[in-house]
Structures are given as C-alpha cells and as structure tokens.
Amino acid sequence: MSFWNHKKKSVHTTYDKTVEKPAIRASICTGEKVAGFRNLKDGHFTSVKLIQSDKDLQDFKDEYGIEGEVEIFY
C-alpha cells in the first residue's frame, strides 16, 4: 500500500489549559494567519497550523477540542 492511500485519522490532541491558550498569530502586512498556542506566563507562541480558510480554523478547533472564539494577535 502506498503512502497516498492512507486516510487522515481523526486525532484529538490535547494541550495544557493551565499553561497555554489557543491563539491565532496574524501578520498585518501579508494577512497570513497561523494557529497555535500562546504561553500564559511569557507569551511565547508555538505554531501548529497555517490557516488559509475557515475550514482550516475549524479543523484546528476540532483537533484540539476548542470551543468558542480563538484570540487573534498581531
């Protein structure tokens, strides 16, 4: 079986809500958006997924079990 015949599995990944919060980093210049997690103590951002459409954002939220709005920062 080739690599291309594999279907994407639905994986529910977790994050530590006491240490990180979901966020989207957006570029003012290019408009590029990247979803990830922002450390609550020092503000460090860890990139997880490039957001090019509403579906990408929904996939990110579904993968990590995020409900509601996600903070956007520039």
d(CA 40, CA 64): 17
Q: Give the torsion sign (CA, 53, 55, 45, 41).
A: positive
* pTM, entire model: 0.78
What does pLDDT average to in each consecutive run of 10 residues of the chain (74 residues)? 49 82 96 96 95 96 94 95
pLDDT at res. 12: 56
